[in-house]
Amino acid sequence: MTENAPYLEDATGQRFPLAGQVVVLGRSRNCDVFIPDQRASRRHAEIRWDGETTTLCDLGSANGTFLNGRRITTPQTLHDGDEIAIASATFTFHDPEATLRVAEFPLLVVDETTGELWVNRHLISLSPKEQALFDLLYRNADRVCSKQEIAEAVWPEYQAAVYDYQIESLVKRLREKLEPDPRQPVLLVTVRGRGYKLVRSAPTNR
């Protein structure tokens, strides 16, 4: 294995190097990564590494190639820790050269087409009220939203005032789903005396 080249690792710990080549995965024994499962196509998927970027591509398989739980339909760039599933086989992509995120800042992704929310490549399911709060904060990312704004957006059906404890309870529940450590939030932060804001990216040191 070329030093510091990316590689796949299967559930048994076996490694498949990706250095300087196109790696084909499938049911054919001529494939670089053999998958002994009838649900896998003979030439199911391929992975290319150009020295910097690693790309996963489905080869028109019958049962699909899945990246982090989602079936892919177009070539996808791989990132360290990504999980690939083909039939019963699962692989983890490792990139030794991957740059660690500042303070392990969580990766937040919103699929604008489907509305799906992902944190660190895990699909997050929200209740209607949690979704309303997230949508407000996401539309106003990096801007403080006051409790009044939150009350009007999340509880439009209420004619009377919304109590602080209702907002604080909802923020707490949303943090428990978004934050790796809800006790030390970095995505949904409190701005004392003003409200809450959603932070899209890790702060940079100047």
Mean pLDDT of 83-106: 78
pLDDT digits (tens, 9 = 90+) for 177-188: 999 888 888 899
- The three-class DSSP label of residue 87 is coil
DSSP state of 64: -
Q: Kindly indicate the confidence band of residue 100, based on its pLDDT and cuts at 50, 70 and 90.
A: very low
- The three-class DSSP label of residue 43 is coil
pLDDT at 174 over 60: yes
Strand partners, 57: 46
Looking only at the bridges linking them, the beta strands covering 22-26 and 33-34 are parallel
Q: What was the pLDDT predicted at 66?
A: 96
Give the global pTM. 0.52
Distance, in Å, from the CA atom of 32 to the CA atom of 16, rounded to the nearest integer, reads 8
Dihedral angle, C-alpha 99, 142, 125, 114, nearest 10 °: -90
Distance, in Å, from the CA atom of 115 to the CA atom of 109, rounded to the nearest integer, reads 10
pLDDT digits (tens, 9 = 90+) for 37-92: 999 999 999 999 888 889 999 999 999 999 988 899 999 999 888 899 999 999 99
Residue 158 φ then ψ, to 5°:
-85, 125
